[in-house]
Amino acid sequence: MPMRRFGVRVVRNACRAGFAAVLVASSAGCTLVPGTNRERLNFVSSARMEQMGQQTFASLTRDGTVDRGPMADRVRAIGRRVVASAQAMYPEAGLPDRWEIVVLDDSTPNAFAVPGGRIGVHSGMIDLARSDDAIAIVIGHEVGHVLAEHAAERMSQAVLIAGGLVLGDAAMSDLDDGTRQVVMAALGAGASVGVLLPYSRLHESEADELGLYIAANAGFDPREAIPLWTRMGRSGGGGLEFLSTHPMASSRIERFRAIMPRAMSLYRRARDH
Ligand SMILES: [Zn+2]
């Protein structure tokens, strides 16, 4: 089924038309994503998102994490460099000072981040990534979601849609799977809305772009993104975050090629220092 870019339409509609009325009692509204300058919708407080992120992270890591050993040390060391790079590149974003980066013993190639600076990487993703560069690109992608506050935007969209405020002519059948799930969860007022569910293609592309720049700026080779996503495509995709269809690995690779020149100049500058 062709993808309807409903998420984008919601943001544009909400940001540019009659939106103020919706947010009379709210302290925020349309803001710009650092690094891409995309106008985004966000009226959920970061404190609330962080609290939800903490709950979600606790449940995702309930079965324990790999805290010791070379794999945990390696991922923590790469993660520290990637996070420091993001903080230096986007000081205006107000990223958390302290991050928790853990490894989960799970063969599914997947990784996730929740608001508040907590990241989990599956051992299956580390195996698939192979190199430190590719692991950095995966972690960069996750930091990209946090940086762009995608969870808060998704939550904001879901609340508007659930309230019927921007539905207009769009029926539920027009929504892509991820958005529909968020709406259903928002209607049920689930605590995990906006944290656990898959991101839209727009958010995935944005996290790919931000993540590639962040990793390159930390001195990791951005060219590793191409073989990484080729392997991901072949493996049939990972867990919730990295489903091969979301977006297709081939369109993802095409996009990486388009943004590679900027990533390479960041990488070269980082290597020269
Ligand atoms: Zn993602």
Distance in Å, CA 22 to ligand 1 centroid: 29
CB neighbours of residue 172 within 10 Å: 11
Tell me the β-bridge partners of 112.
Answer: 120
Q: How far is the CA of 18 from the centre of ligand 1 (A)?
A: 30
Alpha-carbon 75 to chain mean position: 18
Q: Tell me: pLDDT of 5 over 70.
A: no
User: pTM of the predicted model, to two decimals?
Assistant: 0.80
Per residue in 225-238, pLDDT tens? Answer: 999 998 988 887 66
Cβ-count burial of 161 within 10 angstroms (0-12 exposed, 13-18 middle, 19+ buried)?
A: buried
Mean pLDDT of the chain: 80
CA angle 39, 28, 164 (to 5 degrees): 80
Q: How far is the CA of 207 from the centre of ligand 1 (A)?
A: 6
Q: Report CA(272)–ligand 1 centroid distance (Å).
A: 30
Which residues fall within 8 angstroms of residue 117, CB to CB, at 6 or more apart? Answer: 83, 95, 96, 98, 99, 100, 146
Q: How distant, in Å, are the alpha carbons of 184, 210, 243, 271 from that of 240?
A: 17, 20, 6, 34
- Positions marked catalytic: 142
How many whole angstroms separate alpha carbon 255 and alpha carbon 222?
13
pLDDT for 33 beyond 70: yes
Ligand 1 centre and the CA of 189: distance in Å? 23
What percentage of the chain reaches a pLDDT higher than 90? 46
pLDDT of residue 121: 96
Q: Note every long-range contact of 158-164, with CB atoms under 8 Å and residues 24 or more positions apart, other chains counting.
A: 158/182, 158/183, 158/185, 158/186, 158/193, 158/194, 159/43, 159/44, 159/186, 160/10, 160/14, 160/22, 160/41, 161/10, 161/186, 162/186, 162/187
DSSP helix/strand/coil, 74:
helix
* 130 CA to centre of ligand 1 in angstroms: 19
Section 155-183 average pLDDT: 60
Higher pLDDT, residue 4 or 255 = 255
Instruction: Give pLDDT tens digits for 118-128.
Output: 999 999 999 99
Distance 17 CA to ligand 1 centre (A): 28
| CB distance 213 to 263 below 8 Å | yes
Q: How many whole angstroms from 25 Cα to the centroid of ligand 1? A: 31
Q: How far is the CA of 241 from the centre of ligand 1 (A)?
A: 5
Task: List the alpha helices (DSSP H) in the chain.
Answer: 6-16, 19-22, 46-60, 70-89, 123-129, 132-147, 150-162, 177-187, 201-217, 225-235, 249-272
